[in-house]
Structure 1
């Protein structure tokens, strides 16, 4: 993990949060308004249908949300945040693969941050893109 030195403790807290830990999320980088988060493949995040079933959309959305959160918290000015909205567009099936979310803060205002996220599988195929809006302070 390579977050800004002054933000590393906060970024590590995001990764250790119970829900993120349950999904096995790993924040690979978080700096200057960008973050990369990995969700390892696990049978517990699949839809019904056995090991070749697609990964559940809720798990993918959670990955996008945590990546967006890490991007927001990589900014030195962030002292609080909360998700206002998340719109996920699913573009493909993720089957038997780790997923990688790349988030980037597009714009920040006094109280709002807009973050774009792309989720890809191990072959770098686009699985989903998301727009996440955060309340920040």
Structure 2
């Protein structure tokens, strides 16, 4: 029996995740250096008017960090892990726009992976940045 790689696992996991489905998340790019995820604008994710809720943006950052962590071709016997820590800085309001999260792997260890994430709107304006640390179980 062949053990799946982390990237194979995450490519199968994200589309099947009810939470990712609720947010409409999709993987635009995935490799060992990082990942790019799209979250389409949905009025159900707005907090006031057409402003995207900060919790939705934080979830996008967290998920992009997780996907980037799992983006290498390392075989994995277990499809388990968790965010150990995360920080978010909101730079500008995201209004009625799809959002793209670009997560870059800063360091990948045996059990921990550290990512920097930048979220931009349709006009490439930065709306949030974040740091994510993911632990492989």
Which structure 1 residue ranges, 5 or more long, are not aligned?
none
Distance 1:110 1:120, change over 3 A: same
**Distance (whole Å) between structure 1 residues aligned to residue 15 and residue 83 of structure 2:** 16
Deviation at 1:111, TM superposition (A): 1.8
**Residues 33 and 109 of structure 1: CA distance in aligned 2, closer, same or farther (over 3 Å):** same
1:30 aligns with 2:27: no
Coordinate RMSD, CA, aligned: 1.7
TM normalised by structure 2 equals 0.87
Q: CA deviation at 1:99?
A: 0.2
Residues 14-45 of structure 1 deviation map (CA, whole Å, 9 limit, x = unaligned): 23200000000011111113100000000010
C-alpha displacement at 1:78, in angstroms?
A: 6.6
Contact 1:72 1:78 (C-alpha < 8 Å) held by counterparts: no
Point out 4+ residue stretches in structure 1 off by more than 6 angstroms. none
Q: After TM superposition, give the deviation of residue 77 of structure 1 in Å.
A: 2.7
Aligned to 2:125: 125
Deviation at 1:89, TM superposition (A): 0.3
